[in-house]
Amino acid sequence: MVLVVVMGVSGSGKSTVGSLLANKLGWKFYDADDYHSKENKMKMAEGIPLTDQDRIPWLSELHRTIREGLSSENVVLACSALKQAYRNIISNGESTLLPNCGQRVKKEEFPSSRPLFVHLDGSMEVICQRLEGRKGHFMPSALLQSQFDTLEPPSAPEHFIIINVEKSVSEIVSEIVTMLK
């Protein structure tokens, strides 16, 4: 089974691209925002950036959910996945971020090949404009700088592609589909 993680800062288009990609391929789609705890959503809504300690239970739950989904079908996940350590939790369930806080997660790699991380990349200005035009989301544009500060773009040996968000959604989806072939 195959996992594609559409990643990037808030407002980069992860949910839109991920859901359209999953629909085009006939794959299962998961939006990581749906798995945030009520406390995390409230914290972000109040303009408080999440910490590693806030994110690890969320990422661990995503790993478990995706691992179960991959047992029967290919999956597209829309998730910020800002740090390499976060992507490691999604990929194999292993967290070395907080070794002394009781958040030890047993390493359980997916039964498939390595996930493909699709980094939707754009400038602060472009993404800020998108966020300011978005209605009804818990993530305020005031937290965008903290996401850029946290972002560790994927790099070798991760399996990834980087796509500029200024392309149309259909161009982005087509580029991902081409990469998967």
Asked whether residue 57 carries a pLDDT value surpassing 60, the answer given is: yes
Residue 5 predicted with pLDDT over 90: yes
With contact defined as beta carbons under 8 Å apart, do 163 and 118 qualify?
yes
- Supply the pLDDT for residue 40: 93
pLDDT at 138: 54
pLDDT for res 102: 39
- Give the model confidence (pLDDT) of 123-158 as tens digits: 999 998 887 766 655 556 667 888 899 999 999 999
pLDDT score, position 45 = 83
Residue 39's pLDDT is 94
Q: What are 98-120's pLDDT values in tens digits?
A: 554 434 444 444 445 689 999 99
Q: Is the CB of residue 164 less than 8 Å from the CB of residue 126?
A: no
Q: What is the pLDDT of residue 7?
A: 98
Model pLDDT, residue 144: 83
| pLDDT digits 0-9 by tens, 67-99 | 888 888 999 999 999 999 999 999 888 766 655
Return the pLDDT at 113. 61
pLDDT at residue 168 is higher than 70: yes
Give the span between the Cα atoms of 55 and 13, in whole angstroms: 20
Number of domains in the chain: 1
pTM beyond cutoff 0.85 = yes
Q: Which pLDDT does position 132 carry in this prediction?
A: 76
Residue 49, domain extent: 3-180
CATH number at residue 43: 3.40.50.300
Torsion of CA 94, 82, 57, 38, to 10 degrees: -170
Average pLDDT rounded to a whole number, residues 33-38: 94
